[in-house]
Amino acid sequence: MKTLILIAIGSALVNNVVLSQFLGLCPFLGVSKKVKTASGMGTAVIFVITIASLVAAVIYRFILTPLDLQYLRTIVFILVIAALVQFVEMFLKKFIKSLYESLGVYLPLITTNCAVLGVALTNVQKSYGILESVVNGFATAVGFAVAIIILAGLREKMEYNDIPKPFQGMPIVMITAGLMAIAFCGFAGLF
Amino acid sequence: MSEETMTKTPETVGEKKEMPVVLERLWNGLAKENPTFVLTLGMCPTLAVTTSAINGLGMGLTTTVVLALSNVFISMLRKVIPDKVRIPAFIVIIASFVTVMELLLEGYLPSLYDSLGIYIPLIVVNCIILGRAEAYASKNPVIPSFFDGLGMGLGFTFALTCIGLVREILGSGKAFGYMIMPESFVPVSIFVMAPGAFFVLALLTAVQNQIKIKGEAKGKDMSKIGSGSCMGSGCASCRIEGCESRKFYDAKAGGSTQAAAETKTVATVTKKKQQEGGDEA
């Protein structure tokens, strides 16, 4: 239990997936204009990454390892993840309409998001078991959600600020993200 | 581009058509459509691995090999792959080459393999590669595709090395691992840490914006300049033409070859854009 909590805190805050590992940067910068959409994106990412890390860990443990095919993990994971996201989208559309309406728009955006593949590969690299993989995936995604929602909140406040022309748009968002990254560096002292 | 084609055509019989295309593709990747400085694609690896010039160079060259080889294969198979499942097919081809490169690096350059870590397998989802596959290799013959990949890859390498060099000099006073700043220089270590990457990229995009604003004021077409990374989508998304569908199974596909024409149309690209690479260096 203690290791699980340590893994969770470590990947949600200390090694934040966007702010210190730069994975999933594109949705982080692109879908963070409003807190509402940012939280939608965050939820969708939590949903997808948790499922994807479960499926990837199961496949690695029960198919790739017994067959000694670990070196095929990149190919297998990316295909499984891409298919999985599409499948989840179809499933939600068919059976859980309300969830689809709130997450549906964001799902295709995550299909080939590097954070999803990154988490699956990190799990393998750190030789996590299935439970640890799921916890790590969930916590990483929570870290992403926290970061994107904070950034969206900051961006909403910044909207009417007077910013030099070349810095309007993306540059100022990135500077904000950089300042957030400095703040998140503080979590490194947690352990 | 057109000038080059004009002047070079009346020469050797075998190469007369190929050479200008080859050079044009290389130049296109290196400067005119530099994936980092102009199109702002593939930002995740750009930010993550440019803590030093040597890391940037290693990552860039690895990506170049993958890009060139996968372009060749996708181009060879372009008539065999059904349109509807082209994205998974491309991904499989790309992922195979990434795996090959990963194993090679692990075997022969273990230090680079360790410092790049997880970002090597993540080349699979680099939007530059899938973007080139969609926009160029799947519609063009093998040799131009190879040089298109090579040019784009070298452009990416050049950009990563430049950014890495800037960060390394500011952050630790070194260049390619050698101390070059005087003793009195106090390194701003934030630049080799995560936040520094955001700041460097912010400055880069601001420069792009500035060039774009100036260019538009003069009435030039600046639509190619990305200034703001692959907006609002996954990392393997490609803002490049013809890649709007990232769905695994593309039901709407079929008969869409307009992108091939689009890639060829050279919007009045100014010298300014080309200088940009120089400015950053």
User: What residues of A are in contact with residue B89 (Cβ under 8 Å)?
Assistant: none
User: What residues of A are in contact with residue B85 (Cβ under 8 Å)?
Assistant: none
- The answer to pTM > 0.90 is no
> In this complex, do A27 and B234 lie within 8 Å of one another by their Cβ atoms?
yes
Query: How many residue pairs from chains A and B have C-beta atoms closer than 8 A?
Result: 171
- Which of B35 and A4 is assigned the larger pLDDT? A4
- For A94-122, the pLDDT digits (tens) are 888 887 877 766 777 676 678 888 899 99
User: A190: closest CA among A14, A11, A19, A18?
Assistant: A14
Chain B residue with Cα closest to A125:
B118
Write the DSSP symbol of residue B121.
G
Choose from B248, B249, B250, B252 for mutation: most chain A CBs within 10 A: B248
Chain A contact for B247, CB < 8 A? Answer: yes
- In 10 A of CB A93, how many CB atoms? 14
Whether the CB-CB separation of A53 and A133 falls below 8 Å is answered with yes
The tens place of each residue's pLDDT in chain B, 281 residues long, gives 444 444 444 444 444 455 578 888 888 888 777 887 777 777 778 888 888 889 899 999 999 999 999 999 999 998 888 888 888 888 889 999 999 999 999 999 999 999 888 889 988 888 888 888 888 888 889 998 999 999 999 999 998 998 899 888 888 888 887 888 777 888 888 888 888 888 988 888 888 888 888 888 877 666 666 554 444 333 334 433 333 334 444 444 433 333 333 333 333 333 333 334 444 33
Whether the CB-CB separation of B68 and B150 falls below 8 Å is answered with yes
User: What residues of A are in contact with residue B163 (Cβ under 8 Å)?
Assistant: none
Choose from B59, B62, B167, B198 for mutation: most chain A CBs within 10 A: B198
Identify which of B95, B209, B213 has the shortest CB distance to residue A75. Answer: B95
> In this complex, do A181 and B195 lie within 8 Å of one another by their Cβ atoms?
yes
Chain A contact for B88, CB < 8 A? Answer: yes
Give the whole-angstrom CA distance, residue B235 versus residue B42. 7
Q: Which whole number is the average pLDDT over A164-186?
A: 87
User: A144: closest CA among A11, A2, A52, A53?
Assistant: A11
Kindly indicate the confidence band of residue A131, based on its pLDDT and cuts at 50, 70 and 90: very high
Identify which of B118, B190, B205 has the shortest CB distance to residue A170. Answer: B205
- For B142-187, the pLDDT digits (tens) are 998 999 999 999 999 998 998 899 888 888 888 887 888 777 888 8
Give how far Cα B246 sits from Cα of A18, A119, B127, B177, B242, Å: 22, 20, 11, 40, 10
Residues 6 or more apart from A41 whose CB is under 8 A from it? A27, A31, A32, A106, A109, A145, A148
Chain A contact for B237, CB < 8 A? Answer: yes
Identify which of A21, A23, A27 has the shortest CB distance to residue B233. Answer: A27
First to last CA, chain B: 24
> What is the reported pLDDT for A191?
66
Chain A contact for B228, CB < 8 A? Answer: yes
Whether the CB-CB separation of B45 and B122 falls below 8 Å is answered with yes
Distance from CA of A172 to the nearest CA of B (A): 7
Choose from A109, A114, A172 for mutation: most chain B CBs within 10 A: A114
Chain B residue with Cα closest to A175:
B199
> In this complex, do B234 and A111 lie within 8 Å of one another by their Cβ atoms?
yes
Chain B residue with Cα closest to A122:
B118
> In this complex, do A117 and B193 lie within 8 Å of one another by their Cβ atoms?
no
Distance from CA of B150 to the nearest CA of A (A): 23
